[in-house]
Amino acid sequence: MNFGEMKAEVYRRLRDPSTSTIFWTDADVAAALNDGYQEISDATEWYETYSIINLLSNQTYYDLRYVLSDTILAPKVAYNNTTSRWLDPCNIRDLDHSYRQWETVTSEPERMFLRGLWWLGFWPKAADDDILGSIKFHFSALPPALDDDTDEPEIPNEFQIALIEYALFDLLAQDRETNEALRHWSLYIGLEERFRRYVGGRLETDRVYGYV
């Protein structure tokens, strides 16, 4: 279902003919659908991508909002392109217990840790060399917003209805049709939960064998 079809479906369910809208504007409906797309992406972290972080000499921490973009949701795994090894996630407590002055060590990064929500740290920090390596960093993010009528959300077809339910909730809540809005919200939450299980469980089992 593309963006145009989704908008038409929302109008149909609101009984507001899309050809001559009476109450909600096209911008209202588009914003509500995009809000739903953002909400389900935020809740399930289904949109996964990666980016290359170029290492800077003598720098432990990298601001992910700046290095990547402010659509980042959560870091996943990272790969050192120079050593061809995956970085080991750790806590700074581990480092404090192992190396008293770990912040002064320079070499190829082997471990990573997060401070606050955006500050990604690498240990050891990159040395003061002419040639500095890079880290291939995988993370979950918000997908690009839907804009053209032909845009199609990347989530599987069977879950796209969640966006429509969310949009109905959002628009009816703005109209203070609270009971009806909350009914659509509960339908949306059910779909969101199913999608979360679909995203989170995809690597764990198959239908025939389950857990062997």
Partner 1 sequence: MSSLATVRNQILRRLGDTDLKVWTSAEIESYIKEGYNELAIRTRCFWDYAFLEDLPYTANYNQSWEKPYLTIAYDQFTRTESWEDDYINDGLIPGNHTAAWERTYLTKNYVSALSQLPDNLYEIERAVWDNQRIIPLTTSEIEAADSRYETTEGDVIGYTMGKDGLRKLRKYHKPSEVSDSYTVSGNWGLLRSPGDLSSDTPVGTWGVMRRISGQQITGGPWGIPRATANESQNMKVEFCRRGNALASAASELELPEVYVKYVQHFAQWKALERKGAGQDPDLAEHYRLRFETGVQRIRHRVEAVRKFRVGRMGGALSRGGPPPKPRLPWQYGKVVR
- List residues binding partner 1 (CB under 8 A): 38, 42-46, 48, 56-61, 63, 65-66, 70-77, 86, 89-92, 96, 100-101, 103-104, 112-120, 128, 138, 140, 142, 173-176, 178-179, 181-182, 185, 196-197, 199-204, 211
Query: Shortest distance, CB of residue 176 to partner 1, whole angstroms?
Result: 7
CB of 5 or CB of 86, closer to partner 1: 86
Query: Shortest distance, CB of residue 5 to partner 1, whole angstroms?
Result: 25
Query: Shortest distance, CB of residue 29 to partner 1, whole angstroms?
Result: 14
CB of 82 or CB of 119, closer to partner 1: 119
Query: Shortest distance, CB of residue 82 to partner 1, whole angstroms?
Result: 19
CB of 140 or CB of 160, closer to partner 1: 140
CB of 19 or CB of 202, closer to partner 1: 202
d(CA 88, CA 109): 9
